[in-house]
Amino acid sequence: MRIVVLVGLPGSGKSTYLEQMGVRGLSSDGIRKLLADDETDQTIHARVFETLRYLLGQRLAIGRPVTYVDATNLTPEERRPYLEIGRAWGCDVEAVFFDVPLAICLGRNTRRQRVVPAEALAKMAAKLAPPTTEEGFARVTVVTGGSPAGR
């Protein structure tokens, strides 16, 4: 079993990447919409990620071979729970890092159905720390401009 943690700014292409592969991920936005009928509701952040981790555990318990975690996962602290879950279940945890410049994400953001305020996107970009194997990932794949390149 594998856990694949997507890492990147809003508008970097995470959900599109999964769509193009024909797979569904555990999406923090999707869970927000499911719980609060509003995928922009940031007041339930802790509950959203508690639910996401619960669903991940359920997928592992029934033996799903791969689970994608579709959220920004900007910092090592935000990614740590998935590494811990992976260790507990004895499965590899990989990261896919969407290395897309802020300017491109801002441009794509204006064309999205759910627009993230530009100031919020800039604050997120300042927090973004690329994932590494030293952090505990078995593998880190970097996606730039839509094409994956192993790292």
* pLDDT confidence tier of residue 43, bands split at 50, 70 and 90: confident
pTM tops 0.85, yes or no: yes
What does the DSSP 8-state code read for residue 22?
T
Structure-derived torsion over alpha carbons of residues 128, 129, 131, 132, reported in degrees to the nearest 10 = 170
Span 1-26, pLDDT tens digits: 999 999 999 999 998 899 999 999 99
The neighbouring-strand residues paired with 6 are 96
Span 120-133, pLDDT tens digits: 889 999 999 999 99
Backbone angles phi, psi at 150, to 5 degrees: -60, 150
